[in-house]
Structures are given as structure tokens and as C-alpha cells.
Amino acid sequence: MKRKILLFLFGITVLVAKGQLGGNGTYQFLTVSPNARINGLGGYAIATPDADLHLSGQNPALLRKENDKQLGFSYLNYFTDIGAGELRFAKHFDSLSTTFSAGLQYMSYGNFVRTSPDGQELGTFSAGEYNYHVSAARQYGQFRYGATLKFIYSNLDAYSSLGLAADLGGTWQSEDELTMVAAVISNVGVQVKSYTQGNKEQIPNNLQIGLTKKFAHAPFRFGIVAHNLQQPGKLLYNISDRNIISLETGEPIQDQFTVLQRAMAHMVFNTELILGKTLNFRFGYNILRKREMELSQARSMGGFTWGFGLRISKFQFSYGFGGFIPGRNSNSFSVITNLHDFKKSKPRQ
């Protein structure tokens, strides 16, 4: 059985290794999580061991029995009038020893002015993309494993597309519940219907591994995630804003990256300050985003993220800030509640 599992994971890894990075495929909204906690942790939280339903959006193996009847909603205020959101609900079945969830993720790009070739306004049009997803997860000892199936619909004015994709994830947690190791392969799938005939595009898959460590007598949890491992060392590229022209050739001098720089571009570091069950603070640093958002003439918060979570009565509220460039940062908000908490207690006899 173990041999079959290893062969299966190896086969999936080979398939993912043929994928591409963001910007070269379709359905890029799948790479943007609207969840406040995830955004506050640098955009990746695949190994965060908590009964937070939203975390299963990045790693289906994080679904657990404690998520039973949790209902969650997230909204991301991205740039200008671009917004994203997600609604998610979970249910655990003891008879199947399995936790299920279902939901809808969307991104709206707002309204655009339609013009003729000579600039005459002809009205407006809108664009949006949707991911209808179902997930399932089970536990085997200290291991958890799960999968998510995604039904994707994209509508860009008169053009539309359909796709199917899946996430596969697994976690291992120590007996003292202070350490978790996780691995995820996300967005492995195909474009079923392309925007234009004969122009099929790939979906931006992502191979990730992560680790978190909490200290027994300190309120900190530290985490590290390595992402886009299907393209090792190939995340960095020359940025035209910082090109220096060679006096000899007149051509831009290409950036030369060290092995360490290429390796670190895959890394995201984060930490949580956990102050009991009602309040925590989150911080993250996304090295690739920092590199991509750097401006030669200005300093920015690009790559840095922070947020907090606050429990009030039956609701858990979260806020997340994502740094990009000056004047262009993201704000996300999330709320979770459990329908069990609204049951009226039976009066004592």
C-alpha cells in the first residue's frame, strides 16, 4: 500500500513539473486567496494546525472533525474595483470518518468601458471568474490527507471558459501537536473549454511544502513554506524597471542571480502571536513578492504582510494586509461561525 502511494505521488509530481508559473497560464485568480488569515501570513498557510475552515482552501488535508458545521466568508479588496471572495461550509460524517466542505470562490474585475476602434464609447461590460469546489479529508493516526475538486467558470465579456482542477494535500502532526509538516499539489487540471477555439491554456499549478513549529511555553508559532517547487530556481527574472544599459553593447545588462537568491525566491516566512483563544496577531514575508514589487525610485511594503484575529461571542473575525507597491496594497476580511453554537440548550429538568 505504501509503495502504491509513493508511486502515485511521484506520478503527480512529474505531471506538475510540466506546469508553469503565474502569468503564463489561465485562471490566475486561483492563485489569489481572499482569506484574511492566509493573506496576513504571507499568502501561504498550508501547515497551520488550527480548526479554521478557511485554511483548507490552500490545503484540503487541514479539514478536520472540529470544522463540523462551520460557515465562513472572506472578502479581498484587491486593487481599484477588483474584488474577490469565498463562501465555505463544512460537515463531518462519523459514519464515513470523513470531513467534507463545499463552497464558491470568485473574483470580479469590475466594469469596463467598451469602445470602437476610433474611441467611441459603446457601453460597458464586466468580467469575473468562479471556482465551485468540494473537498474531503480523513485522518490516519498522525497523518491527514485530503483532496479538493474545482469546477471553474470564467467569463470575460463575450469570451467564456470552463476548467477542471484538483488539489491534493497531506499533513503530519507531532503527538504533542506543536509541529506540523505539510505538502500540497494545487490546481492540477485541464481547461475543458477555451476562450477561443483551438487555443487551450494550462492552469497555474503549484507544488508546496511547509513546516510550522509552536513552542510549548511561548505564545508563538513560526512557519516556513516553499512554493512553486515544480519550477525550482526559475522564479526570478530580469525586471525592466531596473535595467542598466551597457555602454559597450547598448543592450540592457541582465541580472545575474546566485543559487541562494534563486532558492530563497521560493520561500515565505510567517509567525503568529497567539494570545489565548480570543486574539492573535500574524506577520508574513513573501520574498518573491518583495522582489517583484520593488521599485528603483521608491520604498514600499511589498512582500510584507500582517493581520489579526479576534473572537467576539460566536464569531471569529480576521483582517489581513498585503503589501505590494506604494498606494496599492490589499485588505482582506474574514468571518467564521459554527452553527452548533446557535443551538438552544435544553432546559434542565
- Tens digits of per-residue pLDDT, 10-20? 343 333 434 34
Question: What's the rounded mean pLDDT across residues 40-57?
Answer: 94
Mean pLDDT, the chain, rounded, equals 86
* Residue 84, pLDDT score: 95
Q: Choose among 137, 131, 175: nearest CA to 56.
A: 137
Question: Where residue 327 falls among pLDDT bands split at 50, 70, 90?
Answer: low
* Residue 114, pLDDT score: 87
- Portion of the chain with pLDDT greater than 90, in percent: 62
> Three-state SS string across 284-348, please?
EEEHHHHHHHCECCECCCCCEEEEEEEEECCEEEEEEEEEEECCEEEEEEEEEEEHHHHCCCCCC
CA–CA distance, 144 with 343 (Å, rounded to integer): 29
Greater model confidence, 98 or 121: 98
Supply the DSSP symbol for 66.
Answer: G
**For residue 173, what is its C-alpha cell?**
502532526
Calculated CA dihedral for residues 192, 196, 197, 198, nearest 10 degrees: -80
Give the model confidence (pLDDT) of 208-231 as tens digits.
999 999 999 999 999 999 999 998
Burial class (CB in 10 A: 0-12, 13-18, 19+), 341: exposed
* Residue 25, pLDDT score: 81
CB 290 within 8 A of CB 42: no
Question: What's the rounded mean pLDDT across residues 102-108?
Answer: 96
- Is the Cα torsion angle 63, 102, 317, 338 positive or negative in sign? negative
Beta bridge partners of 76: 84, 332
* Residue 14, pLDDT score: 37
Residue 229 identity (one-letter amino acid): L
- The β-bridge relationship of strands 98-115 and 83-93 is antiparallel
- Judged by DSSP in three states, 1 sits in coil
- CA triplet 167, 190, 267: central angle to 5 degrees? 45
Q: How far is Cα of residue 28 from the mean position of the Cα atoms in its chain?
A: 11
- Model confidence at 5: pLDDT above 60: no
Question: What's the rounded mean pLDDT across residues 309-336?
Answer: 90
Domains along the sequence of the chain with CATH: 2-342 (2.40.160.40)
CB 271 within 8 A of CB 226: no
Question: Where residue 142 falls among pLDDT bands split at 50, 70, 90?
Answer: very high
Q: Count other C-beta atoms under 10 Å from residue 276's C-beta.
A: 8
- Model confidence at 234: pLDDT above 70: yes
Question: What's the rounded mean pLDDT across residues 101-109?
Answer: 96
Question: What's the rounded mean pLDDT across residues 233-252?
Answer: 62
CA–CA distance, 87 with 94 (Å, rounded to integer): 24
Question: What's the rounded mean pLDDT across residues 238-243?
Answer: 52
- The β-bridge relationship of strands 70-77 and 252-253 is unpaired
Q: Choose among 134, 282, 139: nearest CA to 212.
A: 282
Question: What's the rounded mean pLDDT across residues 197-207?
Answer: 91
CA atoms within 13 A on the CB side of 261: 8
**For residue 212, what is its C-alpha cell?**
510550522
Greater model confidence, 6 or 339: 339
Pairs from 312-320 (Cβ < 8 Å, separation ≥ 24): 314/338, 314/341, 314/342, 316/52, 318/35, 318/36, 318/37, 318/40, 319/36, 319/40, 320/35, 320/36, 320/37, 320/38, 320/39, 320/40, 320/41, 320/282
Residue 55 identity (one-letter amino acid): L
* Residue 78, pLDDT score: 86
- Portion of the chain with pLDDT greater than 70, in percent: 83
Question: Where residue 326 falls among pLDDT bands split at 50, 70, 90?
Answer: low
- Model confidence at 97: pLDDT above 90: yes
CA–CA distance, 160 with 247 (Å, rounded to integer): 48
